[in-house]
Copies of this chain bind each other. A is one copy, B any other.
Amino acid sequence: MAMTCPLCDKLARLHELADDVVWQFPCSVAFLGPWQYYTGYCVLVSRSHCTELHRLPKDARAAFMEEMVTLSHAIDLAFRPLKLNCKSLGNQVAHLHWHLSPRRQDDRDMLKPVWLALDRAERDDGEKRRLHSTSLPRPEIVARLHDALKQLHAPNA
């Protein structure tokens, strides 16, 4: 069986994942992420399969990065986090995507990257539940992000 890219596969199944789709931009799709302790956490996936930003054509790259900034702005408008963290790693899945993690004022690990808590959650079910927990229902988080994106006139594909 041919190996497929998990993010290409996800983009091909948007209709099955409608509850988690926050916005469809021209160059990327925003999904609500699993760790909603970080209220508004999204993963923004490039529509084109590409491993590094510098390998995208310049116009497509500029558009993709501006979509990332628009989504960050919307998260900021909707939830007023203390700080936004944006990261493009791709160590496990080398298909361009951004993790946008809004940081909470009351996070005891606020000075650290989120990965330390997420790593603990791999071994500790209590930590996993804490980071999955939401202060708002997930559909309400999606709706608030949607409203903020409309307010910003975010481009819609």
Which residue of B52, B91, B119 contacts A110 across the interface (Cβ within 8 Å)? B91
Q: Could you say which of A61, A73, A89 has the most chain B C-beta atoms within 10 Å of its C-beta?
A: A89
A111-B91, A115-B116 known; A54-B76 Cβ under 8 A: yes
Task: Collect the chain B residues with CB atoms within 8 Å of residue A52's CB.
Answer: 72, 76, 83-84
Q: What CA separation (Å) do A31 and B66 show in the bound complex?
A: 25
Interface size class of A (residues with CB under 8 A): 20 to 34
- Report how many copies the assembly holds: 2
Choose from B65, B83, B112 the contact partner of A90 (Cβ within 8 Å): B83
Given known A69-B53, A76-B54, contact A113–B89 (CB-CB < 8 A):
yes
The answer on a CB contact under 8 Å between A91 and B112 is: yes
Contact with B along A47-81 (1 / 0, CB 8 A): 00001111000100110011011101100100000
Which A residues are within 8 Å of any B CB, using their own CB? 51-54, 58, 61-62, 65-66, 68-70, 72-73, 76, 83-92, 94, 103, 110-113, 115-116, 119
